[in-house]
Amino acid sequence: MFDYDYLIIGSGFGGSVSALRLAEKGWQVAVVEQGRRIGRPEIEAGKRSLRQLMWLPKLGLRGYFVQHLFRHVAIVGGVGVGGGSIVWAAVMLEPKESFYNDPRLQALGLDLKSELAAHLKTARRMLGVTLNPRQSEQDEFLRQTAQRMGVAGTFGAVPNAVYFGEPGVTASDPFFGGEGPAREGCTFCGGCLTGCPTGAKNSLYWNYLYLAEKRGVNILSESKAERIEPLAGGGYRVSLIDAVSGRLLRSLTTRNLVLSAGVVGTLELLYKNRDTYRSLPGVSATLGQVVRTNSEAVTAVLHPPGSDMTNGTAISTDFHPDPFTHATQNRFDRGYRFMRGYMGPLVDDPLPWRRALKTIGAILSSPRLLLSNLLARDWEKRITTFTIMQDLDNHIGLQYRRPWYWPFSRKLVSVANPGHAAPSYLPIANRLTREYAAISGGTPMNITLESIGGLSTTAHILSGCPMGQSAADGVIGTDHQVHGHPGLFVVDGASIPGNIGVNPSLTITAMAERFAALQPSREEPHV
């Protein structure tokens, strides 16, 4: 007798979709989430205080925004019930054609373009996707930038998962015919990235998770999965701990286990249970060998004093500087003021060490730029950041070993993959930023994690658990099941096989819908 039919680790896009759909199929389902439930009071506190915003469990901080720093990549994300959707920009773009044409998928006999079509439609409906209805000064600057770069025809409003009802007015369930919660219209405050203060953003607790709980799904917040033990005769025992204290909270048994903890969380769980606890020995050696940053870079422009760029959603427009590259603008609110400490001069050089020296030299020779950024009043109103993504075939590895600086225990460590290294410098990103700065009268800047640290920066980490015919060439099969471990599945960004080149939340949602559709209903035979 199991505690649950399906235990899901993580409440982001993969976990939330799986929870609702499996419950609809009649199964007993629970979702494990290491973070708290995040509501309006927590979001308002996070916007005022870095201590309330950040998730740093080793320091006792239980906020909802997390940064993972590795040697080759800096990753940002969300922690709490709803996962990354708490701090996501709600941009819902379909994957580019190159994603579907990946020869590795075709070798597996997958026609994802056909398979995902219906699931993409379902994902858009569930997440309330519609074109952003408002453009302001920041968007006009971006439009002119696209025009100056000769690609004006690619500029346009992005599809957002936001309730664009009457601003600040509560409506009775605008999405699910009375089965969902009441919602408040977007006020265009620009604060999406540190949590929506009005509840207009269609985070997962307003849709998939809300409906899942109505169908009996149990959400176990403030619980972190630690040890996974296969049971004789099938199923798994999962030990749950407190993420801050490490104290054992409980152990649960489940017929099936779904890992949806995000790339970092899922890889850590699989590595730890394969290599430390040795309870999952069949997990493929391909684990973590190819991890993708979405070939992403982040740049910024500081506008002149008196500017206010916050009128709108976090991301409202985009364009394609070239066939491989996708660019969006980003708005911040006061919760993101800590980012000013990451900004430095815009510097070009393809060699990371030389670019770092040039950046340090530029700071020392002209500290005025750095000081004007650090001391700027209303910094969040004056800043425009850009996320630039590509669909090129580059990647890093995330291995599980004892790093030289901490030989006492194993942890995830990034490694460069020669010949395919994920970039920390995108020339097209710097060109775009200079053009925008010239149009707007602002100062162009790089993120020093990239320009000095040589890191890629991303909110869209992908892959790490490749699909394959067997454990020899992949961690999971095309049904998301881990090779060698029946009933163990990976359903999150780790199962996405390539750089999508655009914001990936719609793709992850659709892939999770596909996974759930492949699972049997309770009355069907369970293989």
Instruction: Give the strand pairing for 170-171 and 159-161.
Output: unpaired
- Residue-level length of the chain: 527
d(CA 115, CA 137): 40
Q: Is residue 524 part of a domain?
A: no
Tell me the pLDDT of the chain (527 aa) as tens digits. Answer: 899 999 999 999 999 999 999 999 999 999 999 999 999 999 999 999 999 999 999 898 999 999 999 999 999 999 999 999 999 999 999 998 888 988 888 888 889 999 999 999 999 999 999 999 999 999 999 999 999 999 999 999 999 999 999 999 999 999 999 999 999 999 999 999 999 999 999 999 999 999 999 999 999 999 999 999 999 999 999 999 999 999 999 999 999 999 999 999 999 999 999 999 999 999 999 999 999 998 899 999 999 999 999 999 999 999 999 999 999 999 999 999 999 999 999 999 999 999 999 999 999 999 998 899 999 999 999 999 999 999 888 899 999 999 888 888 899 999 999 888 889 999 999 999 999 999 999 999 999 999 999 999 999 999 999 999 999 999 999 999 999 999 999 999 999 988 888 899 999 999 999 999 999 999 865 54
Nearest to 35 by CA among 85, 78, 88, 89: 78
Catalytic center residues: 460
Residue matched to tokens 């994957």:
95
Going along 79-148, which residue ranges are E strands? 129-131
* 171 contacts 417 by C-beta, under 8 angstroms: no
211: phi then psi, degrees, rounded to nearest 5: -70, -35
Nearest to 165 by CA among 179, 194, 186, 182: 186
Q: Is residue 526 part of a domain?
A: no
Q: Put the strands of the sheet holding 343-345 in their side by side order.
A: 156-157, 317-322, 325-330, 383-390, 297-302, 443-447, 343-345
Q: Which residues of 413-424 are buried (b: 16+ CB within 10 A; e: fewer)?
A: bbbebeeeebbb
Predicted local confidence at residue 525, as pLDDT: 55
Burial, 102: exposed, middle or buried (Cβ in 10 Å; 0-12, 13-18, 19+)?
middle
Nearest to 60 by CA among 246, 240, 195, 227: 246
Q: What is the span of the domain harbouring residue 135?
A: 4-518
At 513, the amino acid letter reads E
d(CA 197, CA 205): 14
Residue matched to tokens 């152990």:
251
d(CA 472, CA 163): 45
Strand-pairing partners, residue 388, are: 297, 327
Count other Cβ atoms within 10 Å, centred on residue 306: 9
Q: Which residues contact 516 (CB under 8 A, 6 or more apart)?
A: 17, 18, 21, 22, 25
Could you tell me the CA-to-CA distances from 22 to 13, 91, 99 in Å, in that order? Answer: 14, 26, 27
Nearest to 493 by CA among 212, 294, 251: 294
Q: Is residue 525 part of a domain?
A: no
Q: Is residue 438 part of a domain?
A: yes
Map residue 448 onto helix, strand or coil.
Answer: helix
Q: Which residues contact 309 (CB under 8 A, 6 or more apart)?
A: 136, 137, 138, 190, 303, 331, 381, 382, 383, 384
Instruction: Give the strand pairing for 383-390 and 325-330.
Output: antiparallel
Domain count, the chain: 1
Cα 178 vs. chain centroid, distance in angstroms? 30
Q: Which residues contact 376 (CB under 8 A, 6 or more apart)?
A: 302, 305, 340, 382
* 281 contacts 103 by C-beta, under 8 angstroms: no
Q: Is residue 408 part of a domain?
A: yes
DSSP symbol at 422: P
Q: Is residue 87 part of a domain?
A: yes
At 340, the amino acid letter reads R
CATH number for the domain harbouring residue 426: 3.50.50.60
pTM above 0.85, yes or no: yes
d(CA 457, CA 437): 21
Q: Is residue 376 part of a domain?
A: yes
